[in-house]
Amino acid sequence: MTKPVIIAIRGLSRAFGEVRAVNAVDLDIFEGEFITLLGPSGSGKTTVLRMIAGFEKPDSGTILLGGKDVSQLPPYDRDVNTVFQDYALFPHMNVISNIEYGLRVKGVDKSDRRARAMQALQQVRLEGYESRKPAQLSGGQRQRVALARALVNRPSVLLLDEPLGALDLKLREQMQIELKELQRAVGITFIFVTHDQEEALTMSDRIVVFNHGRIEQIGTPREIYDNPQSSFVSEFVGQTNKIEIEGKKINVRPEFIVVSKSTSYGNRSVQGVLRDAIFVGATTRYLVDSSLGNTIISTNPREAIAIGETVTLSWDKEKEFLIQ
């Protein structure tokens, strides 16, 4: 990457009581990228985001925003804006007043304010909703207002704290695409927090995987998926089979395991019995009781197999991830 660094995090730590929520995190975020902080709940991803926004103060470490240490500054002195998990729209203000709030605080004059707010409203395709109250909007519309309210300030970085969590699946998938397109259009750095690995893979330029307050791995979605550096990453991102073979512990993704009646399609093979086949729409998950003593899942059948039949599972060794 030759892009300049916009946020440089060094040795960032924060504890809540005995729990080390964030533990010595180092991270560089580049200008204009869509970066996702991914991890299970309690992994520290949201705390990192809240420290960038200024809602939490770090116990130690620095956050350089455009080269300036902002870690001790209050939220209102930082050139970042946040889209909150449950939107946090001001319930007593209508849509346009919500969007204008940041500009009004900064003393932008009325006509300029209105023009910019209308433009932001257009960007999120909500023209005509200016005078609605948040309570009169659907979840997806509130989401868009929250986005417009943050983007209208033209921050150097936009922080998004699980903004799609409250939406239903269809709307979430649609918003994922919209968000990505919006980010390309405005060219602002997006830092997106989620626990949904699919969402992370869909939207991000880079993914940062968090676990127990530490960074497990940083990489492009493809790097993270194809080449996980730890068993945690391989298990958390995508599906994986934990297998112990020839004295080694390995992980293999279900789509790389071929299940057939007797033929082997790779340089590694294991016998088993088909216990169940679960139809999940685009794929079918084959649950095989293997001769290794565990259940191995495959989504890659070569022929029709009946439940209870003896099968051969096979894969290429190159597709295995070794677990340390």
Partner 1 sequence: MLDSVATAMHRRPRLRLAALLTAPVLWLVVAYLGALATLLVTAFFTIDSFTGNVVRKFNLDNFHDMLTDAAYKNVVLRTLGIAISVTLLCSVLAIPMAFYMAKIAKPKSQKILVALVLTPLWASYLVKIYAWRTMLEPGSGVVDWLLGPIGIHSPGFGGPAIIIGLSYLWLPYMILPIYAGLERLPNNLLDASGDLGAHNFYTFRKVILPLIFPSLVAGSMFTFSLSLGDYITAQIIGGKLQMLGNVVYQNFSINLPFAATIATIPVSIMALYLYLVRRTGALASM
Cβ at position 106, least distance to partner 1 in Å: 6
- From residue 134 to residue 163, the character string flagging contacts with partner 1 as x (rule: CB under 8 A) and all else as - is ---------------xx--x----------
Distances (CA, A) of 245 to 231, 270, 320: 15, 10, 11
Supply 183's token pair. Answer: 């980010």
Is 84 or 265 the residue whose CB approaches partner 1 more closely? 84
Say how many residues touch partner 1, by CB under 8 A. 24
CB–CB of 310/271 below 8 Å? Answer: yes
Q: Which stretch binds partner 1 (CB under 8 A): 50-58, 178-186, 257-265, 268-276?
A: 50-58
- Determine which residue in the list 67, 76, 111, 279 makes contact with partner 1, applying CB under 8 A: 76
Is 35 or 53 the residue whose CB approaches partner 1 more closely? 53
Cβ at position 105, least distance to partner 1 in Å: 4
Please list the alpha-helical segments (H only) found in 128-259.
139-151, 169-186, 197-203, 221-226, 231-236
* Residues in 82-111 that interact with partner 1 by CB under 8 A: 82, 84-86, 88-92, 101-102, 105-106
CA dist 145 and 312 (Å) reads: 54
Cβ at position 102, least distance to partner 1 in Å: 4
In terms of phi and psi (left: phi > 0; alpha: psi -120 to 50; beta: otherwise), the region of 128 is left
CB–CB of 316/266 below 8 Å? Answer: yes
Does residue 74 bind partner 1 (CB under 8 A)? yes
Place of tokens 């909500």: 126
With b for 16 or more beta-carbon neighbours within 10 A and e for fewer, the 229-243 pattern comes to bbbbbbebbbebbeb
Distances (CA, A) of 153 to 80, 128, 199: 9, 21, 26
Q: Which stretch binds partner 1 (CB under 8 A): 27-35, 47-55, 164-172, 314-322?
A: 47-55
* Residues in 170-199 that interact with partner 1 by CB under 8 A: none
Does residue 55 bind partner 1 (CB under 8 A)? yes
Is 31 or 79 the residue whose CB approaches partner 1 more closely? 79
Does residue 54 bind partner 1 (CB under 8 A)? yes
CB–CB of 217/206 below 8 Å? Answer: no
Is 52 or 243 the residue whose CB approaches partner 1 more closely? 52
* Phi/psi at 269 (5° precision): -145, 150
Is 4 or 75 the residue whose CB approaches partner 1 more closely? 75
Interface residue list for partner 1 (CB under 8 A): 53-55, 74-76, 80-82, 84-86, 88-92, 101-102, 105-106, 149-150, 153
